[in-house]
């Protein structure tokens, strides 16, 4: 009895060990039956929350005798996808990994080719990935979705030689470290970077990428975009919306479009000269469709170099509005901003000033104020004071001249009233008491009246002795 019990106990231990090994290193005979994995209607579903086993290794050999249209793993502590693990599943349509604490990927982990035009959909959500190695995403991939994922490191050519993907979408992804040429030479319809975080976009981050529909950077933050970080051609739309970028280097974008460019509602802490001049229109498309719109509206800049906002006008009609400078307005500064910030350029050797650009550039005063209004209200005060003083001085001089003329005319008029004083002998004899008075009125007419009140309002009595000396009597002669 003891021997039988011991034998049964040894069998249980061996079976448990074998099952654990089979789950950790699955074989073709155990993939659908053991541990957290099960098969259902052509799908492989592995959920570690229903098992004590928290680690899964996916190898090419484990799928040799199976045909799956979908493979999914979830809620595991560690999942390891080996090189070309999925390449033996030509009917595979979707691979998903959800809530994986550590997802380890080898080179060509998602290298998958198929003759059909459908392609493979890869969806990774709520997971941490130590590294995207070279050629990790490679081949006939229809769509790639990364959502709420932390990626510590991305090697060169991690995304490369992808055969006409429909969509590559990064939502709420944190890329801690990108190497140059991490995205290299592939074709995709839509390239979307949404609510994500980058430390640095190094030079040639995206190299020779063909985007046939749209490139969108939305609500994304980055410490720095280096020179020639984006080398993309043929998008019908390129949009940068509500992003926060600390430093944009010279020539950061080399983008040849077949449509419009829209940059709006962003914050740029520092912008170097010619940061956006690399947006151009594809020559053949320009010959067919003419100039496209380049919209730069409602963006905030803190620090910038001269010519930071230089736009290529050989293929674009730039539309500028509400360029907010996050600095206090000052008269010396706004003159420099109006003259040196924005330029239009049809070639690399010649650029022109933008007329009336001071109406679309704003600064803090403390609220937003256009630099034209600020200059009109505050920067012409000295000139206005001088003008006021000149006008006041001229007014005083004119007033004094008018007063002088009035006084002069009054004196002249009073003098004229006494010009025609009669000099005849009869007029020289002084009037005695009770005799008629001699009155002198204008035009030299003399009246002798006994009633003075008859013309009292029109003339006044004149004493002859005030004007003519008395003639000596004949007796005195």
- Tell whether 161 and 250 lie within a shared domain: no
- Tell whether 258 and 386 lie within a shared domain: yes
Residue 408 lies in a domain: no
- Tell whether 250 and 382 lie within a shared domain: yes
Neighbours of 43 (CB within 10 A): 14
Domain C-terminal end among 133, 168, 203: 168
Residue 60 lies in a domain: yes
> What pLDDT is stored for residue 40 in this prediction?
86
Q: Could you tell me which residues come within 8 angstroms of residue 377 by beta carbon, excluding any fewer than 6 positions away?
A: none
> What pLDDT is stored for residue 405 in this prediction?
78
- Tell whether 272 and 142 lie within a shared domain: no
Alpha-carbon distance of 407 to 412, in angstroms, equals: 9
Alpha-carbon distance of 228 to 226, in angstroms, equals: 6
The total number of structural domains in the chain stands at 2
- Average pLDDT (230-250) is 98
Is the pLDDT higher at 420 or at 273? 273
> What pLDDT is stored for residue 66 in this prediction?
82
pLDDT band at 428 (very low <50, low <70, confident <90, very high): very low
High-pLDDT (> 70) share of the chain, %: 76
- Tell whether 276 and 365 lie within a shared domain: yes
- Average pLDDT (68-94) is 93
pTM over 0.85? The answer is no
Residue 240 lies in a domain: no
Residue 469 lies in a domain: no
pLDDT band at 386 (very low <50, low <70, confident <90, very high): low
- Tell whether 151 and 287 lie within a shared domain: no
> What pLDDT is stored for residue 346 in this prediction?
87
- Tell whether 283 and 375 lie within a shared domain: yes
> Which of 90-94, 347-351, 400-404, 426-430 has the lowest average pLDDT?
426-430
Residue 400 lies in a domain: no
Domain C-terminal end among 101, 133, 168: 168
High-pLDDT (> 90) share of the chain, %: 61
The DSSP symbol for 157 reads T
- Tell whether 141 and 250 lie within a shared domain: no
> What pLDDT is stored for residue 388 in this prediction?
54
- Tell whether 250 and 164 lie within a shared domain: no
Neighbours of 50 (CB within 10 A): 13
Residue 261 lies in a domain: yes
Q: What is the mean pLDDT of the chain?
A: 83
Query: Is the per-residue pLDDT at 98 higher than 60?
Result: yes
Neighbours of 257 (CB within 10 A): 25
Residue 324 lies in a domain: yes
- Average pLDDT (60-80) is 90
Query: Is the per-residue pLDDT at 84 higher than 70?
Result: yes
Decide the pairing of beta strands 368-370 and 437-440: unpaired
Cross-strand bridge partners of residue 319: 295
pLDDT band at 404 (very low <50, low <70, confident <90, very high): confident
- Tell whether 50 and 163 lie within a shared domain: yes
Query: Is the per-residue pLDDT at 23 higher than 70?
Result: no
- Tell whether 384 and 264 lie within a shared domain: yes
Residue 377 lies in a domain: yes
Range of the domain at 344: 246-391
Is the pLDDT higher at 117 or at 306? 306
- Tell whether 258 and 158 lie within a shared domain: no
Is the pLDDT higher at 401 or at 184? 184
Domain C-terminal end among 168, 191, 216: 168
């Amino acid at each position: 009895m003891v021997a039988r019990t011991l034998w049964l106990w040894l069998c249980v231990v061996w079976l448990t060990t074998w099952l654990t090994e089979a789950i950790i290193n699955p074989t073709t005979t155990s993939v659908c039956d053991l541990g957290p994995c099960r098969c259902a209607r052509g799908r492989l579903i592995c959920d570690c929350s229903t098992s004590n086993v928290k680690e899964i290794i996916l190898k090419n050999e484990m799928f040799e005798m199976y045909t799956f249209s979908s493979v999914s793993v979830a809620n595991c502590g560690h999942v390891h996808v080996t090189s070309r693990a999925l390449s033996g599943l030509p009917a595979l349509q979707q691979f998903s990994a959800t809530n994986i604490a550590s997802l380890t990927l080898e080179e060509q982990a998602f290298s998958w080719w198929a003759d059909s035009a459908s392609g493979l959909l890869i969806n990774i959500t709520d997971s941490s990935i130590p590294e995207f190695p070279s050629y990790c995403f490679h081949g006939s991939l229809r769509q790639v979705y990364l959502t709420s994922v932390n990626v510590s490191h991305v090697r060169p050519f991690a995304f490369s030689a992808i055969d006409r993907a429909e969509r590559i979408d990064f939502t709420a992804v944190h890329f801690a470290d990108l190497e140059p040429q991490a995205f290299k030479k592939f074709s995709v319809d839509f390239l979307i970077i949404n609510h994500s975080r980058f430390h640095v976009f190094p030079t040639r981050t995206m190299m020779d990428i063909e985007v046939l529909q749209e490139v969108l950077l939305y609500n994304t933050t980055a410490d720095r975009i280096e020179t020639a970080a984006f080398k993309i051609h043929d998008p019908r739309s390129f949009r940068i919306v509500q992003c926060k970028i600390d430093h944009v280097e010279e020539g950061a974008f080399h983008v040849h479009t077949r449509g419009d460019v829209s940059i709006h509602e962003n914050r740029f802490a520092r912008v170097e000269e010619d940061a956006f001049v690399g947006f151009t229109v594809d020559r053949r498309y320009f010959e067919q469709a003419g100039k496209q719109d380049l919209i730069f509206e409602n963006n905030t800049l803190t620090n910038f170099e001269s010519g930071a906002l230089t736009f290529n006008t050989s293929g674009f009609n730039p539309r500028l509005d509400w360029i907010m400078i996050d600095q206090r307005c000052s008269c010396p500064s706004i003159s420099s901003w109006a003259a040196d910030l924005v330029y239009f350029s049809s070639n690399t050797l010649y650029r022109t000033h933008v007329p009336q650009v001071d109406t679309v550039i704003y600064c803090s005063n403390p609220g937003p104020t256009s630099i034209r209004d600020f200059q009109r209200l505050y920067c012409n005060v000295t000139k206005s004071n001088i003008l006021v003083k000149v006008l006041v001085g001229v007014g005083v001089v004119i007033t004094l001249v008018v007063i002088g003329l009035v006084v002069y005319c009054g004196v002249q008029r009073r003098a004229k009233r006494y010009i025609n004083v009669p000099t005849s002998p009869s007029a020289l004899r002084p009037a005695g008491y009770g005799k008629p008075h001699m009155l002198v009125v204008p035009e030299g007419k003399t009246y002798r009246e006994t009633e003075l009140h008859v013309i009292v309002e029109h003339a006044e009595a004149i004493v002859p002795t005030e004007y003519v000396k008395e003639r000596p009597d004949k007796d005195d002669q």
